[in-house]
Amino acid sequence: MNDAQHQKRQQRLKEKVDTRIEQAQQEQGILMIFTGNGKGKTTAAMGTATRAVGHQKKVGVVQFIKGTWENGERNLLEQFGVPFYVMETGFTWETQDKNTDTIACLNTWQYALKLLNDPEYDLVILDEITYMISFNYLPLDEVVSAINTRPSHQNVIITGRGCHRKLIELADTVTEMRPLKHAFDSGIKAQKGIDW
């Protein structure tokens, strides 16, 4: 490709992007979903939290199945006033008791509801909540209703595999993280600072 062709291609690209920016002028809180089996769902949510905090936005994080182990992003973001509410029983496949898991889940959901009703919060992250719905710990309708009635400027991020299609329909932005490769599968240990 010569320079003139290159410039022409870049010009077309610029026009396309400019047009899309012009057309997208509606300001409102959005529902974003990071789903799929690949790595990067919680991580992308935490990256968005970091970004929002960097712009002095108010962020709250509710983690539905993270364990009790140390958590790098929490260490950092809590210093900026981001509350982390982590479901007490940790991974549900460690506890294996449907009743206690359901109670823990519903307690965690009560905390999430507070954030989803509080207009001070610009961004609420419901990390790994999809599993709570799949396991029937949490009624889908309650989640849909809370999202529909939240303050209109509030952004919400949902993460987790196998997101229910009703939530996908409700969402503004949905990314499916597809695993093309995973280091864990080729025998490399999960690492502090990278994997948690």
Active site residues: 37, 39, 41-43, 51, 91, 93, 128
Stretch binding a second copy (CB under 8 A), from 75-83, 104-112, 113-121, 141-149: 75-83
Task: Give the chain's radius of gyration (CA, Å).
Answer: 19
Residues 76-105 that bind a second copy (CB under 8 A): 76-77, 80, 92-99
Between the alpha carbon of residue 157 and those of residues 41, 60, 121, 170, 192, the distances in Å are 10, 10, 13, 12, 24
Q: Report which DSSP code applies to 9.
A: H
SS3 86: strand
Indicate the length of the chain as a whole number.
196
In whole angstroms, what is the distance from residue 35 CA to residue 32 CA?
A: 10
Binding-site size, a second copy (CB under 8 A): 86
SS3 62: strand
Q: In this chain, which of 19, 75, 100, 107 binds a second copy, going by CB under 8 A?
A: 75
141 binds a second copy (CB under 8 A): no
Stretch binding a second copy (CB under 8 A), from 60-68, 113-121, 139-147, 183-191: 183-191
CB of 169 to a second copy, least distance (A): 9
Tokens 């992007």 sit on residue: 17
What are the DSSP E strand ranges found in 83-122? 84-86
CB of 55 to a second copy, least distance (A): 4
Distance of CA 122 to the CA centre of its chain: 14
Residues 18-37 that bind a second copy (CB under 8 A): 20-21, 23-28, 30, 32, 34, 36
Stretch binding a second copy (CB under 8 A), from 51-59, 61-69, 104-112, 139-147: 51-59
108 binds a second copy (CB under 8 A): no
CB of 149 to a second copy, least distance (A): 19
